[in-house]
Amino acid sequence: MKRWKKLMAVTVAVVLAAVPVQAMAAGWEAEEQESFSGAWEVAELADTSGLAGGIMAQEAAEGSVELLSADIPASCSQQEWDVLAYTNKERLAAGLDPLTTFTRMQWAAGTRAIELHTLFDHIRPDGSMCYTVLNDKNISGWWTAAENIAAGYGSAASVVEGWMNSPGHRANILTKDLSHMGVGYYYTNSGYGAHWVQLFIGSCNFNSLSITGLEDGLVVERGTSLEELGLACKLTCSHGNSYLPLDEAYCSGYDPKDTSGEPQTVTVNVLGRSTTFQITVKGAQVPGNTSLRVTGRTTSTVSVQWDRVSGAEGYTVWYQSEYDNGVSRKVFTGGNVTSWTHTNLQPGTKYFYTVRAWVDNGTGGTHDYVFGEQSPTQRGTTKPVAARIASVTASDGKIKVRLSKAADGAELYSMCYGNSADCFGEGDFRVGIRTQYTSRTLTPEFEPGVYYVAVKSYRDLGNNKKIYGDWSNVVRVPVRN
């Protein structure tokens, strides 16, 4: 079933006195103004449909974030935590403080997400404004609030991108005087599928800061980013404990390539508070071994392929031709690069290859390469250039073949004959003579008839191995009495 997407945004501020204000209705496809008495002042309403972004079915929430389970049980799903992380990256890019969430904000946003399935609007199904959910969840002490809603987006990344591409929603996300954001996610197999809510309030002053999810003696693999650890910042404010995903932008003192084995002290500075924790990167890694094989060759190229090594950051291929006095190398950065075509080579020439995986254990801009074992050396020989027949003559039952010139890279020629022009491609031919010369008479004595002649240039590699060029041109020759 094709699902559409739509977005709506609204921002309000609580006034200090309960006085009548003007408001814009939050109805879908409507921007009527209406007057009502109350403590709400709608500052902005945005309605954008058809924004870019994937539409895909998504299963229900993948469960709560494990490290928050003690304080935010099932009230913060992985999708909701990811929306908070992506939103904070947008705010950081704009030079703004990140937002945190807490249990009651998650309850409020979760309630709104479920309500969107019934009524996609900033008006709740009971007719009240969206912000009354804050009162329902006993959330107080805020001075401004905003809500973004969306439906039909299949992932946290795509819905945040959709909001950021809409001016009204972007303005809400990038409002300076916000401190908390609850995220709601609700999925149903009917209608728009996924329903999303961002519920913002502000503002709070934060007190203590600590990092949750830490283990004693935290040891990580080399190259592990802090964000991969799934840590969270825990702060206290007037609403109790609140949380946000740990972002490397808040951190200093961590080098994922420092494999000295000594603990590193990471300093976290966020929302005017600071704390530290220790982390140790595992010692120098030695990558595993790989093997190399030749997968193709032409007159001027040799293609090689090697096995991928887990944890490798790159590979170095050493190569040498049979005529070289020294060894050359080709360096590949990236652990997923596992093939190379060596070009601009000489025809009919032996080339030798070996490969080693490596990691760079250097720090501070210096390099310290550690290599795995060298693979067994493999030979790849380029094909000789195809021969070219200049003439074929027949006399007294003998057929003489003359080539236009010696074929580059060839040592020998296999002069062959058959009964049709197609026999060489079909393998239905006979070898008339193998020779090093460019002009020879085929050894059989031929009966009268029509024959076809073609030549293969080749090089004898020893041990019953040969490397052949392509077939030459095919020449028809009649043999008469």
CA distance 314 to 285: 13
CA distance 339 to 334: 12
Most confident of 16-30, 247-261, 379-393: 379-393
Q: Report DSSP letters for 422-455, one per residue.
A: THHHHT--EEEEEESSSEEE-SSPPPSEEEEEEE
Contact 184, 109 (CB under 8 A): yes
- pLDDT confidence of residue 75: 63
Residue 171 pLDDT > 80? yes
CA distance 146 to 200: 5
- The domain limits of the chain are 6-202, 209-281, 292-381, 389-479
CA distance 159 to 121: 17
**Residue the block writes with tokens 């939050």:** 26
CA distance 244 to 249: 13
The answer for residues whose C-beta is within 8 angstroms of residue 313's C-beta and 6 or more apart is 223, 333, 334, 335, 358, 359, 360
Over the chain, what is the mean pLDDT?
83
- pLDDT confidence of residue 223: 78
- Residues 254-267 have a mean pLDDT of 86
CATH code assigned to 6-202: 3.40.33.10
SS3 42: strand
- 209-281 against 389-479: fold identical: yes
The CA radius of gyration of the chain, in Å to the nearest whole number, is 37
> Architecture of 292-381 per CATH?
Sandwich (2.60)
Residue 392 pLDDT > 70? yes
Residue 148 pLDDT > 80? yes
| 389-479: CATH topology | Immunoglobulin-like (2.60.40)
**Vertex 109 angle, CA 140 and 249, to 5°:** 90
Cβ neighbours, 10 Å, residue 276: 12
CA distance 85 to 437: 75
Inter-CA distances, 23 with 8, 175, 256, 268, Å: 16, 20, 52, 42
Contact 194, 151 (CB under 8 A): yes
CATH code assigned to 209-281: 2.60.40.3630
Confidence of residue 10 (pLDDT cuts 50, 70, 90): low
The answer for residues whose C-beta is within 8 angstroms of residue 40's C-beta and 6 or more apart is 12, 14, 21, 23, 129, 131
pLDDT tens for each residue of 220-231: 887 788 998 889
Residue 375 pLDDT > 80? yes
- pLDDT confidence of residue 8: 60
57 Ramachandran zone, left/alpha/beta (phi>0; psi -120 to 50): beta
Helix (H) / strand (E) element for 172: namely helix 167-173
pLDDT tens for each residue of 69-112: 434 434 689 999 999 999 999 999 999 999 999 999 999 999 99
First CA to last CA across the chain, in angstroms? 80
Q: Any long-range contacts for 36-41 (C-beta under 8 Å, 24+ apart)?
A: 39/14, 39/15, 40/12, 40/14, 40/129, 40/131, 41/12, 41/13, 41/14, 41/15
pLDDT tens for each residue of 43-70: 223 322 222 222 222 222 333 333 344 3
pTM of the model: 0.56
